[in-house]
Structure 1
């Protein structure tokens, strides 16, 4: 008899991508303009949205040849979907969490995107309910197949959103993305 495909597809071990990102410190748009142009604070407040300096963007471009992505080169992979997305902040030694210290609690909301081959896809978001000082568990945005993004020569990981307050120093954190890999159904003898 001919082999027939199994009906249940097999799942490979998850693929985990960990990336360090930094949201740069900035003085804020209003202060910069006042210094540069000699404008009064009142005049600037009338012309500029006070929230404009509470927007952050951090991104990094990564090669598809990262060792953690090596499993994705297997030809039998059908889909790669995001299973878990987390941001983590590790407290520097000797630095207490307190006023003026940028923890993840300084963030208000955000989104995570992958971009490759001129295509950009949202994969996760977070809001005030998910934010803690040292970690954020993001909510997944659907289940898009990310295989072609992660197999491309280069792809960009972006985290962007809004702050609750201005940062007094750069905020460095780690993004951990865990992907579920689905293989083609294996052939079994009938």
Structure 2
């Protein structure tokens, strides 16, 4: 879950700011097995209390500094608003390993949401469902146009992608989250 090299840092008001982040959904032992080993609960007790669908929930997140080079233009004093313009998830196949049985692709996901968290505030910014999912690309649907400036100017902020799988992952799924932001300047608000 390390940030990818930021791709573009444009002057405010001209081109969008693009943040690219590498994320990984790890394989998991399954919720029941994890709880059994962590708390010593019996399998019977776990099976009675946990929805079977809970085994197919994923969460991946990373905390990023606002000092990333691609966010440098947001420090300009004339910036008044930053809104999300586009959000995608992209998976690149490993050229050394062909896609085959057991290879996790974005097609293993069923639904998900993207959140930003900063200063103890969490906001949903995009979402996706089955109709958005391709094996190598997911175009997320934006959730309104909230001003994200205070989140991206915080010393640290967290990007989270979470949701549900169609099936269990038997290998980690590494992908890139690409967020494109529109920057508005003081002068451009009146235009």
TM-score normalised to the size of structure 2? 0.84
- Aligned partner of residue 129 in structure 1, secondary structure: helix
Gap change, CA 1:35 and 1:69, over 3 Å in 2: closer
Contact 1:12 1:182 in 2 (8 A): no
Number of the residue aligned with 2:109: 107
Number of the residue aligned with 2:98: 96
TM-score normalised to the size of structure 1? 0.85
* Counterpart mapping for 1:80-91 below 5 A: 80-91=82-93
Largest Rg, 1 or 2: 1
**TM-aligned CA deviation for residue 93 of structure 1:** 1.8
Number of the residue aligned with 2:6: none
- Aligned partner of residue 13 in structure 1, secondary structure: coil
**TM-aligned CA deviation for residue 95 of structure 1:** 1.8
Number of the residue aligned with 1:121: 123
Structure with more of its chain in strand, by fraction? 1
**TM-aligned CA deviation for residue 52 of structure 1:** 1.1
Aligned length: 176
Contact 1:89 1:173 in 2 (8 A): yes
Gap change, CA 1:167 and 1:179, over 3 Å in 2: same
Number of the residue aligned with 1:71: 73
- Aligned partner of residue 12 in structure 1, secondary structure: coil
Number of the residue aligned with 1:155: 157
CA RMSD of aligned residues (A): 2.2
Unaligned runs of 5+ in 2: 1-11
Number of the residue aligned with 2:175: 173
- Aligned partner of residue 83 in structure 2, secondary structure: strand
Unaligned runs of 5+ in 1: 1-9
